[in-house]
């Protein structure tokens, strides 16, 4: 095991499940802000545990929202790209939206240089600067 990683176990305050009498295990990962070390946290639960039920509901909701956002991006990104290209063909007087969009995209990437700007974020930023002309559906909430 690496020196930059550790495993932590937590007892669920609701069901008090242990590894030996558990029905489910939830693993999460994180970085300790004090040491900068990466860690995994393991919590065991019984099927009837309220904390486990809440976690399952939140996970399912997150998956649903992620699928909605991905579907929106797949529909919106090609359309906003066409709107951007059409505006680019308008001449140098229409350059302001391009500059603003580019600056915002660069700022979004600059927030975390260790990651990339996801396509959903691209579609969100470009739609803000190149809005649809007619009443298209708004983006789903993140």
pLDDT, tens digit, for every residue of 18-42?
888 888 999 989 888 998 889 999 9
Query: What is the residue-wise DSSP string for 47-99?
Result: TT-HHHHHHHHHHHHHHHHHHHHHHHHHHHHHHHHHHHHHHHTT-GGG-HHHH
Mean per-residue pLDDT, 105-129: 83
Does the pLDDT value for residue 141 go beyond 90? no
**This prediction's pTM:** 0.60
How far, CA to CA in Å, does 94 sit from each of 34, 51, 53, 84?
48, 54, 53, 10
Are 142 and 64 spatial neighbours (Cβ–Cβ below 8 Å)?
A: no
Report the chain's C-alpha Rg in angstroms.
22
3-state SS assignment for residue 124 = helix
Q: Indicate the average pLDDT of the chain.
A: 83
| CA-closest candidate to residue 16, choices 57, 51, 41, 40 | 51
């Amino acid at each position: 095991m690496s020196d930059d990683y550790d495993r932590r176990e937590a007892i669920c305050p609701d069901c008090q499940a242990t590894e030996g009498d558990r029905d489910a295990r939830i693993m999460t990962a994180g970085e300790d802000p004090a040491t900068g070390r990466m860690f995994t946290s393991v919590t065991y639960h019984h099927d009837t545990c309220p904390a486990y039920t809440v976690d399952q509901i939140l996970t399912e909701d997150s998956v649903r929202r992620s699928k909605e956002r991905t579907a929106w991006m797949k529909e919106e990104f090609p359309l906003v790209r066409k709107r951007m290209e059409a505006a680019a063909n308008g001449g140098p007087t229409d350059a302001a939206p391009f500059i603003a969009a580019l600056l915002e995209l660069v700022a979004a990437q600059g927030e975390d240089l260790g990651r990339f700007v996801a396509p959903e974020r691209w579609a969100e930023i470009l739609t803000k600067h190149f809005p649809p002309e007619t009443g298209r559906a708004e983006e789903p909430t993140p």
